[in-house]
Structures are given as C-alpha cells and as structure tokens.
Amino acid sequence: MKSLLVFTGDFMAFKYAKTGPFILEKIITNDPTYLKLEFNDLNKVTNQKNTRQLSKGGRWPESFAIFLEEKANELLGKEVYVITSQTTKEWDTTKWLSDIEPKKIGDIKDGAVSKIPAADGVSNISETLAFCKQNLIDFSLAKNDLSGEEEFLDFGQNLAKNFEQSWRSNKTSRNISDDVKRIRVLGPNNLSKRNGYRVIVWKAYEYEGINYFIVLKVDKKLEDESYPSNQEIKEATAQIEELKPNYNKEFLKKILDEVLNKMNKDKGEIDPPLPETPDNDEPVRVYLNCPFSEKDECKSLGGKWDNEQKKWYISKDMNKEKFQKWLD
C-alpha cells in the first residue's frame, strides 16, 4: 500500500509517502553515514529484500537516526508502516525513510481517528497526531510556531515519547485550568526538557482512560519557568472557544470508543506474550553471551534484548550459525 499524506503550513507543504505494512527484519548500524533498516518486502527489480536508510546527519539532525534506532529496536520482527518524506522531491520509498510506525497505530489513525478534523482545519490528522500510551495529541497548530519540516517532525517524535510524563509532572507543567496546562517536552535534537519546547495543551475530551489533546501553542523561551502570563491565558481561552464547536463530545465519544475497542482487540493479537517453554520443553528464547561492545552487531543480525533478564536472545527457530560466537 502506498498513500501520500500532505501537511500544509503557512510556509510550505510537508509531504510524506506511507507504504506497507512490512515486517521489520534487521537493523544495520555499522554504516557511518546511514542507519539502515531491512524489511520483508521484495524489490521488483532485484528481487531482494528492500533496505531503506536514513541519514545520520546533514539535512536530518543526527538525533533523528538515534531516535529511529531506538524505535526500530522495539519494533523488530513486527509489522510497521514506512514513512518517507516527499517534501523536497519524490524520494524512492524503497530506498529512503524518515520514520516507521507500528501497524496498529497506523491502522487506528487511518481508521477511526481519520474522522476527527485536525485543529488547524487543513492538515491530515494521520500526520499531525502523536500517540503516547493512552493519549492522542493533535499538534497541527504547532505549524505556526515551528520553523520547518525537521523541527515539525522532531516535535512530533518528542510528544509521542514524553507527553505522558510531562503532562503529569508538577516539575514540567503549569496549570492554566483543569483541562489546560503549559508543559515542557524535549527540545530540538534531543535537548533536555529544561531547554526544550514549552507547550500549551488543552485536554479536549476524556473517555474510558483515553485522552484527546490539542496543542495550542509552542515556544522555546527556554529558561522562563514562570506561570503563564495573563495574555497567554487569554489567548488559550479564546482558541479553545473557537475550537469547541468542532469537537462535539458525543462525536468524540463514538470515535474514542472505536479506538478503545481496536486497542483492546489488538492486545492479544499483535504482540502476544511469549511463553517460557512450549509443550516439548524446548526453550522459546535462546539467550546469548553478547558483551556490550558487540550489541550493535548482534542487533543488526536480528538479536533481541530481554529487559528483564538483561540479556540478548534469539528465537529457537532462527538460524543460530551467525550467532555462534555468543552461544558458547
């Protein structure tokens, strides 16, 4: 599947091609210039599995590759959608990527959530919505405060990664009202929260533990931790009153009920718990004696990390020959 997503800002249009879903099979980190991910789809010309890459520097900040590697490590062996920027030109979607997205999140965005209008009135909600645990955050209005595509993507990634903690923390948030806060999230190129984005956020609706938020304003007045000014509060209140007619509570309840049902349905289907041993008592996981210095090599070959055991492992049906040096 290939679709073209367009995010329109006052300065330019951001365009992305979304392809997949594919199974992420390998992470290749030993190239100094590019982070490379191998998927299970075959190239029509070479008949080999497609390997897509993201620059570790240059136009894209190095932090993008670091963030993508972290995400890829969590999604290895799972179905994902591939996002490829098309803003500057039609980049080949079989060779390049700018992000990946879990299939179940992509399906929710393209399904139930696609019926919700983006707060800015023009954007594709699929590309301006961050998922952080049970929180859905529309950041389409941030286009007015961010300086370009790289910063827009950086902001969205940091919302998805850090929103939950930032919203709940007394250290990184200031209450404007019960449903409106100014919070801090990590800044450009993985800067700290203290030196990051200041974000005014409105909780538009809450249903059965799922929250729908809208980002109203973003700035980077890094050292100002003072309470939001009267002018900021006045502007936020006016924005909310203008937006409220677009977010009828019954409408949002229906949409979030669909999202909740989808999430609950997928819990046991997408990523089922791995049993300790199958019926024949043969271990499902084969643990490896892999030192820290060789973790990148192990990961690139398909090894996975067990956070509880603090060890790398492979599944019993994987080819053990290439892992032999860690099996002794």
- Residue 193 pLDDT class (50, 70, 90 cuts): low
Top pLDDT among 265 and 160 is at 160
Q: What is the pLDDT of residue 221?
A: 61
Q: What is the pLDDT of residue 227?
A: 74
Q: End-to-end alpha-carbon separation of the chain, Å?
A: 43
Contact 194, 222 (CB under 8 A): yes
pTM, 2 dp: 0.69
Residues of the chain with CATH 2.40.50: 2-107
Return d(Cα 188, Cα 222) in angstroms, integer.
12
Contact 303, 73 (CB under 8 A): no
219-267 per-position pLDDT tens digit:
876 555 567 788 888 989 999 999 999 888 888 888 888 888 877 765 5
Give the single-character DSSP code of 188. G
With a cut of 90, say whether residue 41 has pLDDT above it. Answer: yes
With a cut of 50, say whether residue 152 has pLDDT above it. Answer: yes
Return d(Cα 73, Cα 51) in angstroms, integer.
16
With a cut of 90, say whether residue 213 has pLDDT above it. Answer: yes
Q: Hey, what are 169's tokens? A: 């923390």
> 77's torsion region: left (phi>0), alpha (psi -120 to 50) or beta?
left
Q: What is the pLDDT of residue 280?
A: 42
Return d(Cα 301, Cα 286) in angstroms, integer.
14
Return d(Cα 64, Cα 78) in angstroms, integer.
21
- Residue 201 pLDDT class (50, 70, 90 cuts): very high
**For 2-107, CATH number?**
2.40.50
Lowest mean pLDDT among 20-34, 60-74, 217-231, 284-298: 217-231
165-183 per-position pLDDT tens digit:
888 887 778 888 889 999 8
Q: What is the pLDDT of residue 224?
A: 57
Q: What is the pLDDT of residue 272?
A: 39
